[in-house]
Structure 1
Amino acid sequence: MPPDSASPPLHERLGDPPWHYWIARVVPMLYVTILTLMLPTILTQSFVVSDLGVNQDRRLQQHLRAISIKVLAHGEHIGSGVLLARQQQVYTAITNAHVIQATNAPFQLQTHDGQVYAAALVTPPSGQNRDLSILRFQSHDRTYTTAKLATASPRIGDRIWSAGFPSENGDPVEDRQSGATKVNLGLHIINAQIVQILPIAIAGGYSIGFDGSIRKGMSGGPSIDRSGELIGINGVHAHPLWNTPEMLENGTIASEALQQQINDYSWAIPIEFVKSYTRE
């Protein structure tokens, strides 16, 4: 018997209310259609955000490698430093005073391309007694990137990238000239967060506390913000075994609570103190 062309709709034949039919058939189709249209956009946006983060981190690391230098005395690694400025063939670099005071001249600076230059120690400006030292060298045939000094003050919660050359845990390599095995002290970069900014700096000028752990040998290295600008010079690492800073720049002793923070964080000298050392 041929089907009745005037037979009622399926939901009436099954005895279901009309809205049951729409929920069971139409809504899933709409959901699949919308998801199909939006999924490529959602995935693309996720990958774009991820790529931006990766690219930014890679760019900042490349910049740190360009401006970071290894400080040497008598050919041996004693600390880290930063290329601050260039005037024709003369480069100005900065490191920590305690790095320089731990040994004697002559000093050398090694750039990212492996070149080693004789460096002259510059007398600090009158009245400046922070933990900073200025060195200068000449490069006649090579040009180097120098740091861009930050113009805005850092804030608690800001992400920073700190770098330097640790004096331990390097990779063993063979010296081509002597054949002896030495340690390759590669640049170490940490991604950290500012957790404290002191209104009165610790003796030596340290007022930026961050949660990343710098290591011995990284003193004098740079800390930069997400735009690549230099915000400070590293110099005090967390949980020192001795010579824990206790005195503030105004001559008072740090409270017990502040002393605990000083022990728990790594510390950098802010860029405004660095600028006072570079003024002619």
Structure 2
Amino acid sequence: MKWLLRSKIVYLVCLLICLGGFFFALSKQQNLSRELSRREQHTRLSTEQLQKLAQTITVKISASELLGSGTLLKRQGQIYTVLTNAHVLRAAKPPYQIQTPDGRIYQANVLPVAKLQQDDLAVLQFRSPDIVYPVANLSDLSNLRVGDEVFVGGFIADLGHQNQSNLTKTQFIFTSGKVTLLLDKALEQGYQIGYTNDVRKGMSGAPLLNIHGEVVGINSLHKDPLWETPEVYQDGSQPEAYLQELITRSSMAVPVKSVNSYQY
């Protein structure tokens, strides 16, 4: 009887080990399938596709003249939310206007989002009762690596041409480059992503896109500023010397978070 009982116990132990191995293999296969499915959904877009996408989600922000660019963040009914840099709005007093990709001009309201006080970001809203505009898809820093290709499309002043109202015309500029640094913690004003893209005045507030067409940041600073000042982290410490040099030689962006982070 003892031998029979011992045999049953050994059999049950072996059965449990086999079942455990089976479920582990099944779980691993399911995780692999999910990962492959995720990669299929995040297909790489061509440069032409990325440029067209950038043009559909980028707006002009102006007062009496072009102040900068903005990113169509979300739509809720007839209300659209636009994300830009705080320094764009500091360039002129309100009221501000938003010009959408179809050329229509809307009056903009600035939202006092408390969560953004430490970052060079600002949120505006406008109402479009009859036109539906595409909005951005967001992605965080976890999906970005140094060396990844990134793209910026924004508006600059075309100083060589003026219209009949004596206002400077603008043109849409699209640039490509690669990520040079991803800081572990944010600098003052929230800058954390560095890249090689050549950006110009007026492109502040434009979306920084990855190869999948997702917005990973808001373009904020151009590289090689005229006045070099040591960068400081938000906690008051300073980056090491080699990072300081790399920051200076890089255009910089504030990373985006979830849409809910920009709600008032």
**Which TM bucket (shorter chain)?**
0.7 to 0.9
| Identical counterparts, % of pairs | 35
Cα deviation digits, residues 29-84 of structure 1 (max 9, x gap): xxxxxxxxxxxxxxxxxxxxxxx99x7111111110000011111x3111111000
Whole-Å separation in 2 of the counterparts to 1:196 and 1:173: 39
Flag structure 2 segments of 5+ consecutive residues without an equivalent: 1-42
Count how many residue pairs are aligned between Structure 1 and Structure 2: 221
Q: Which residue, out of 65, 74, 78, partners 1:85?
A: 74
Greater relative CO, 1 or 2 (CA 8 Å, sep 6+):
2
Q: Which residue, out of 219, 230, 234, partners 2:219?
A: 234
Q: Which residue, out of 207, 211, 228, partners 1:222?
A: 207
What is the DSSP-based 3-state SS (H/G/I as helix, E as strand, rest coil) of the residue aligned with 2:53? helix
Whole-Å separation in 1 of the counterparts to 2:87 and 2:75: 24
What is the DSSP-based 3-state SS (H/G/I as helix, E as strand, rest coil) of the residue aligned with 1:201? coil
The corresponding residue for 1:23 is none
The corresponding residue for 1:94 is 83
Whole-Å separation in 2 of the counterparts to 1:127 and 1:215: 24
1:146-185 equivalence runs, <5 A: 146-150=135-139, 152-167=142-157, 169-170=158-159, 172-175=161-164, 178=165, 180=166, 182-185=167-170
Q: Residues 231 and 255 from structure 1, CA distance in 2 versus in 1: closer, same or farther, beyond 3 angstroms?
A: same
What is the DSSP-based 3-state SS (H/G/I as helix, E as strand, rest coil) of the residue aligned with 2:146? coil
Whole-Å separation in 1 of the counterparts to 2:207 and 2:116: 24
The corresponding residue for 1:130 is 119
The answer to whether the 8 A contact 1:203-1:245 is kept is no
Q: Residues 244 and 216 from structure 1, CA distance in 2 versus in 1: closer, same or farther, beyond 3 angstroms?
A: farther
C-alpha RMSD of matched pairs (Å): 2.2
Pair 1:104-2:93 in alignment = yes
What is the DSSP-based 3-state SS (H/G/I as helix, E as strand, rest coil) of the residue aligned with 1:165? strand
What is the DSSP-based 3-state SS (H/G/I as helix, E as strand, rest coil) of the residue aligned with 2:103? coil
What is the DSSP-based 3-state SS (H/G/I as helix, E as strand, rest coil) of the residue aligned with 1:219? coil
TM-score, scaled to structure 1: 0.73
What is the DSSP-based 3-state SS (H/G/I as helix, E as strand, rest coil) of the residue aligned with 1:60? helix
What is the DSSP-based 3-state SS (H/G/I as helix, E as strand, rest coil) of the residue aligned with 1:66? helix
The corresponding residue for 1:211 is 196
Whole-Å separation in 2 of the counterparts to 1:76 and 1:211: 28
Pair 1:56-2:42 in alignment = no
Whole-Å separation in 2 of the counterparts to 1:133 and 1:198: 22
Whole-Å separation in 2 of the counterparts to 1:133 and 1:127: 7
Cα deviation digits, residues 107-141 of structure 1 (max 9, x gap): 11111111111000000134742110000000111
Alpha-carbon distance, 1:142 to partner: 1.0
Whole-Å separation in 2 of the counterparts to 1:215 and 1:126: 28
Flag structure 1 segments of 5+ consecutive residues without an equivalent: 1-51
Whole-Å separation in 2 of the counterparts to 1:161 and 1:171: 26
What is the DSSP-based 3-state SS (H/G/I as helix, E as strand, rest coil) of the residue aligned with 1:186? strand
